Structure 1
């Protein structure tokens, strides 16, 4: 049974893209393994970030505002940032990742991850890594952590 979130995300996606994105995801999955799919989507996210740079930000609040403005401009949801002491928690809500189909949730969040990594690298956090914190259950909320890479 679809959830309210499923219905809202489905209504948000333009009908002209639904079948195409699912077919694209199915073909990607037929040609590439899980890690290759994640790498591809990560690179797509990096490219998106490079083509849509953020303004300079001097605080976590300013960064959240800049990120939310960027995502709002393309209707790709919103983000919450929280300083957890040893890492920055990044939770992205409402990205239309389910448009690629439910099975693609294992690899499509890498698009967001690549975007966040590129934007944060550009702001001087290149010694830190954005890591996905688990596979999203519903596709609505995807959590990442920005932290020092562990050896």
Structure 2
């Protein structure tokens, strides 16, 4: 197996401009967002990001979690790994309010602000899928109630 210790950089190119770890990943995600926005309709984009959220939840299944407190812990472990903030749930007789806070306000290189459109849809897909994993019925669904910089409020219920 070949390991490269250094990559050639154009003369005068500052290595700091290339980014590291999370910054580089965010920049790559921004490129993906830009390409999707350039080639998809709004409806296609919404469907795509909802599907990404569902796939994310499927790749981090809840297992035998049945209590809301344990689901909160599970979700927060996932969001911590992505550096996507944290969630708090409030349950009432008609459903569950979802308060997702400290979501990155933007991604490196996302000049069009596409992250602010994509992130709430990804969260909606993920939370809806997780609630279905823990036994939520088909009558219940997840909807976005409010979104603002770094914060998304959703509702899972009838």
TM-score by length of 2: 0.74
Q: Spell out, residue by residue over 1:6-49, the C-alpha distance to the aligned partner (whole angstroms, 9 max, x if none).
A: xxxxxxx8321343332221211111122211110111111111
CA distance in 1, matches of 2:66, 2:119: 30
CA RMSD of aligned residues (A): 2.0
1:75 paired with 2:83, answer yes
Q: Which of these two proteins has the greater Rg computed from alpha carbons? A: 2
Which of the residues 127, 145, 148 maps onto 2:155?
Answer: 145
Q: When you count helix as a share of all residues, which structure comes out higher?
A: 1
- 3-state SS of paired residue (1:56): coil
The unaligned stretches of length 5 or more in structure 2 are 1-20
CA distance in 1, matches of 2:89, 2:148: 20
Asked if structure 1 preserves the Cα contact closer than 8 Å seen for 2:66 and 2:134, the reply is: no
Asked if structure 2 preserves the Cα contact closer than 8 Å seen for 1:130 and 1:146, the reply is: yes
Question: Structure 1 pair 103/120, CA: closer, same or farther in 2 (3 Å)?
Answer: same
Question: Structure 1 pair 73/25, CA: closer, same or farther in 2 (3 Å)?
Answer: closer
Per the alignment, residue 31 of structure 2 pairs with 23
Q: Spell out, residue by residue over 1:83-113, the C-alpha distance to the aligned partner (whole angstroms, 9 max, x if none).
A: 1332200111123362155244123311111
Moved beyond 3 Å, runs of 4+? none
The unaligned stretches of length 5 or more in structure 1 are 1-12
- 3-state SS of paired residue (1:95): coil
